[in-house]
Amino acid sequence: ASGKVTAVDTNAMTLAAKDLTFNITSTTKILKDEKPATLAEIKVGDKVKITYKKDDAGKLNAATIHDSEKAAK
């Protein structure tokens, strides 16, 4: 999935984009401008590309998040 970030919740460890909410897990890899980053570094309005897997409960667990906001400007 790709699109603009609409919400970031560092307490719940979730990120929303394209009307979908993704769970950030201990194995999620977050990259901002091709460098390792944390969820707190991702801002609403950033352009992201997310790979994810749906678990048995139907939750979307993010595998990778690529934030390319600076590269897109």
* 3-class SS of residue 33: coil
72 pLDDT more than 60: no
Q: Are 18 and 52 in contact (CB under 8 A)?
A: no
Average pLDDT over residues 35-64: 97
Sequential DSSP letters for 38-56: -GGG--TT-EEEEEEEE-T
9-37 tens-digit pLDDT: 999 999 999 999 999 999 999 999 999 99
Average pLDDT over residues 40-50: 97
Within a 10 A sphere around the Cβ of 40, how many other Cβ atoms? 9
Q: pTM value?
A: 0.89
